[in-house]
């Protein structure tokens, strides 16, 4: 995989810790992917999702909101 190996290692460590926390949308996403992909590939997938989230936050200048996914789902349900 091309790219900085130090950043990859850091993102994978973050993904492993995310997979062990509770009440987090990334944790639920990890556990939904783990049966199909396996633990290691699911960790890489979470680290990529985390990297995309960090990039989008830096690009737009927004702060991280832990309850963003919950609020987004509630807004979608109320709109339809």
Q: How confident is the model at residue 15 (pLDDT cuts 50, 70, 90)?
A: very high
Per-residue pLDDT tens for 33-75?
999 999 999 999 999 999 998 999 999 998 887 777 777 777 7
As a whole number of Å, the end-to-end CA separation of the chain is: 41
User: What token pair was written down for 56?
Assistant: 């989008």
Nearest to 11 by CA among 66, 28, 1, 33: 1
Total count of domains within the chain: 1
Dihedral through CA 20, CA 65, CA 73, CA 77, nearest 10? 150
Domain span including residue 36:
5-79
49 contacts 29 by C-beta, under 8 angstroms: yes
């Amino acid at each position: 995989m091309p790219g900085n190996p130090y950043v990859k290692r850091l993102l994978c460590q973050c993904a492993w810790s995310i997979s062990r926390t509770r009440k987090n949308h990334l944790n639920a996403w990890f556990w939904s992917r783990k049966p199909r992909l396996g633990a290691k590939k699911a960790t890489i997938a979470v680290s990529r999702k985390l990297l995309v989230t960090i990039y989008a936050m830096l690009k737009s200048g927004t702060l991280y909101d832990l309850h963003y996914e919950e609020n987004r789902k509630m807004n979608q349900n109320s709109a339809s």
